[in-house]
Each structure stands twice: as structure tokens, then as C-alpha cells.
Amino acid sequence: MLLSKSCVYGLRASLYLAAREQGEFVPIRKMSDKLEISFHFLTKILQQLTAEGILESFKGPNGGIRLKRTGSDVQLLDIVLAIDGSQLLTECALGLPGCGLKNPCPLHDKWAETRDSIHEMLEKTNLTELVHKGKAENLRLTTEGGFDILFDD
């Protein structure tokens, strides 16, 4: 798989937050219910994103999680790097150490090109952009439900 499950959950949760009112703290329990992700597992992932300064948390009643920056200021790449790290975008396709530093492998040129296109896609796509699209076309963030599930509280 391109992205780890943790990373995918992180992306789904971030999109969910970006789709809600800016400034509103959303409890993790609510997110885990809506997005059909295990509460405890999601909690851990959100902790990583909070530690990286992408999300912000608040404890106690009326607490929860929200975006720290605006959705248009968070690129998919930020989330992928925070959770999966940079391996996908730096590693050798044949698993050899030091891609780009040492003598390359036969696949290097072609892979570097493909890898750059992945990098560019992640770097140039922000949350708000996807949320607009998702709202307009009622796309899904979960197995069944459309984007509208985010709003029926």
C-alpha cells in the first residue's frame, strides 16, 4: 500500500476537521464514530499530528481536536510526512540504501520521475481544496456515507 493505515486515518480525520467550522473543537469520540475508526487508534494518530503542530487539542468538556492552521495551509504532504515519514519520497525502489547519494540502481531514473509526481501531488493539494470538492459532489470519506455525514450531528 502506498500509505500506511495510520496515515490514511490521519488524512480522513484531517479532512473531516477541515470540513467543519474553523475554530470548533471536535471530540475524538465523535470523529471515530463518524469516520468508523477505532477510537483509541485514532487518538494515537491525532496525537502525532498534534505533536507536529498540524492539529491542536483541548482537554475537558467542550474539548476536542481542531486544525491549528487553516485548511488551505495544510498540504497532504504535511500529514504524510508527519505520520509515515519521508521514506516513500526518498527511498530506492529496489530497497537499496542511500538512493540519490550512492551509485544508483537501474530503476533510479524512472522511479525518481514517478516519485516526483507523487511528491508533487501531495505537496500541491491542500485540505480545503479537497473539502470544497467533497462538499460540492458529496464524495465519501467512509465506506458508505457521503460528505454530508459530517454535518448531521
Closer residue to ligand FES in complex, CB, 30/108: 108
Does 118 bind a second copy (CB under 8 A)? Our answer is yes
Closer residue to DNA in complex, CB, 113/144: 144
Does 28 bind DNA (CB under 7 A)? Our answer is yes
- The residue type of 22 is Q
Span interacting with a second copy, options 23-31, 42-50, 62-70, 116-124, rule CB under 8 A? 116-124
Q: Give the start-end residues of each E strand in the chain.
A: 55-58, 64-67
Nearest to 67 by CA among 111, 124, 131: 131
The position carrying cell 459530517 is 150
The 8-class DSSP code of residue 105 comes to P
Sign of CA dihedral 5, 10, 64, 133: negative
Does 143 bind DNA (CB under 7 A)? Our answer is no
Least distance (Å) between residue 57 CB and DNA: 3
For residue 67, list its beta bridge partners.
Answer: 55
Would you tell me which residues interact with a second copy (CB under 8 A)?
A: 1-3, 5, 8, 11-12, 15, 76, 87-88, 91, 93-97, 102-108, 110-111, 113-114, 117-118, 121, 125, 130-131, 133-134, 138-143, 146-147
